Amino acid sequence: MTLQELTAAFAEQYAQRPIPADGPIDTSPIDATPDTDEFDAIWQQVIPETRARGNDFHLPLSVAYARRLCDAYPQADRELVLVATLLHDTGWAHVDEDRIISEGFRGDWRKSDIRFEHELQGCEVAKRVLPGLGYSDEFIAKVTAIIDGHDTRQEAHSIEDALMRDADRSWRFDRVGIALASGWFGQTPDYYTDRLEEEIVPELITEAAIAMAHADLKRSRDLLKTAVLR
């Protein structure tokens, strides 16, 4: 099937939006879900890639959210979601660092060339790292299909793609994500948290991600006193 056909089939299969959860939704603070050693072999292969653009915060946190989303949607291929989430932004380490902020976080940033470039480079990282760890060509192709377009495609093409996209956004609502991303965008925490509520929550695809986002956002706003410091 073509990407367009996969996207249409997914939209038909999951016509109700946000997608209702079939499993438990955990809205407790994300640091209550530490990572396991399940994918340490992959982590060790991408240490240089974690040092770019805050990935040493973003990627572990996103994987933690992906674990919770997989619990809420047990029909998804858990390994695929977690591996794709772990690798999705590794491409930032292989693009012009000076352009990451100037192009990737300014103006119409979703359509910036640097966004497309980091997706393609992330696919290259996956194709470099995963074969030596015993992953099949079929599995790697599924991983790269999710990484390619995770920022620039408008629609998800599978439940696994949807969960990775929601995990990628969910970390922003935690205080760590707010601290980093508000700096990237040159915005104050009060402005940025308002933007999260107005722009990012509507982009979330699943019921579980929306519930987690609202819980995290309330905790973060209370902690950062955004009602006062504005």
Mean pLDDT is lowest, of 13-17, 91-95, 208-212, for 91-95
pTM for the full predicted model: 0.93
**Residue 1 is assigned to a structural domain of this protein:** no
Has residue 17 been placed in a domain? no
Query: Residue 80 and residue 32: Cα distance in Å, rounded?
Result: 23
**CATH, residue 64:** 1.10.3210.10
Range of the domain at 109: 39-224
- Report the mean per-residue pLDDT for the chain: 92
Share above pLDDT 70 across residues of the chain, in percent, rounded to a whole number? 93
pLDDT at position 111 is 61
Instruction: Establish if 21 belongs to a structural domain.
Output: no
Q: Which residues contact 13 (CB under 8 A, 6 or more apart)?
A: none
Q: HSE on the CB side for 121, CA within 13 Å?
A: 17
Q: How many domains does the chain have?
A: 1
